[in-house]
Structure 1
Amino acid sequence: NTSNYVLEIVIDGLTEADIMLAMRTGISSIINSDYKNIKSISAGNYGGKLGPYLFWLKKIMS
């Protein structure tokens, strides 16, 4: 199967720590999965329109 698609996952949480844990868990699950054709994982803030918080993926995964 050679499907091409983009998934957008929205994460809501009570605390920054909750959101970071959810992001780390989700990204780790993808990295450790059998899906080897994942091209990229990214995040957007949309100019702050979604809230004042920024979550840096490299920091979350370190």
Structure 2
Amino acid sequence: MSHDLSLARSHALDLARTLMVPVVLFLSGAEYGVLPADEIDDEDDVEVIHEFDPWRAH
């Protein structure tokens, strides 16, 4: 978890490219986090900021 959006965004993009799976950058409380997209459920109490897909150009 991170309090810095630009740092979290950078790590999310790197993680997506390393794992070659879509990852989601989310806000939970006052912190940003990153998880593989398939691990985020609709019931989770998070606000999705962006999804990074390594197969699409950004």
Give the TM-score of the pair, scaled to structure 1: 0.40
Structure with greater strand share of residues: 2
Larger radius of gyration, structure 1 or 2?
Answer: 1
Give the TM-score of the pair, scaled to structure 2: 0.41
Structure with greater helix share of residues: 1
- Give the number of the structure with larger relative contact order, counting CA–CA contacts within 8 Å between residues 6 or more apart: 2
